[in-house]
Amino acid sequence: MAEGKMADIPVSPYLASLVAIRVNNGGHQVLLMKRTHPPVDQWCQVAGKIEEGETAWQTALRELVEETRLVPNSLYSADICEQFYEPTRNTIAVAPVFVAFIDDAAEMTLNQEHSAFQWVSFSDAIEMVAFGGQRRVLRWIEAEFIERPPAEQLRIDV
């Protein structure tokens, strides 16, 4: 590299992420699932690659159904993106985040991408996830969707 010239690192918005929330015994719980593929055995929220022709929110909704068989009562843009550097691609991944409110009585079925799931409090979820970006997203969602009502402009009609 020439002196003074900086290397380009592409920014790639190829993922969408979704935090599923339910109200149980008066408290809000977050869905976390244990991954069967890299990073193996890490607790995570719903996430997946945006397919050709999909919007990010359509990806988030599709991934929720594929991974859990859950259908949300309501869906919102979280008004935040999860971002991280991906060394194998030398790219900064940027994933728009969505929030899905799920009925407490809804039954879920995991697909092969996950080995286990738990509905946990926000504080427990923040301790369970492996990455700082996930913790920042969970804190944001708790502040903007639980501690105060979400802005109606963030609602996505599905």
CATH superfamily of 11-152: Nucleoside Triphosphate Pyrophosphohydrolase (3.90.79.10)
Report yes or no: 15 and 92 within 8 Å, Cβ to Cβ.
no
Give Cα separations from 47 to 3, 6, 62, 96 (angstroms).
40, 32, 10, 10
- Each residue's pLDDT tens digit, 67-96: 999 999 999 999 999 999 989 889 999 999
Distance of alpha carbon 145 from alpha carbon 92, whole angstroms: 27
Residue 137: exposure state from Cβ atoms within 10 A (0-12, 13-18, ≥19): buried
For the entire predicted model, the pTM comes to: 0.92
pLDDT at 1: 47
Res 7 pLDDT > 80: no
CA nearest to 108, candidates 68, 66, 61, 72: 68
Which amino acid is it at 46? V
- Each residue's pLDDT tens digit, 107-150: 999 999 999 999 999 999 999 999 999 999 999 999 999 999 99
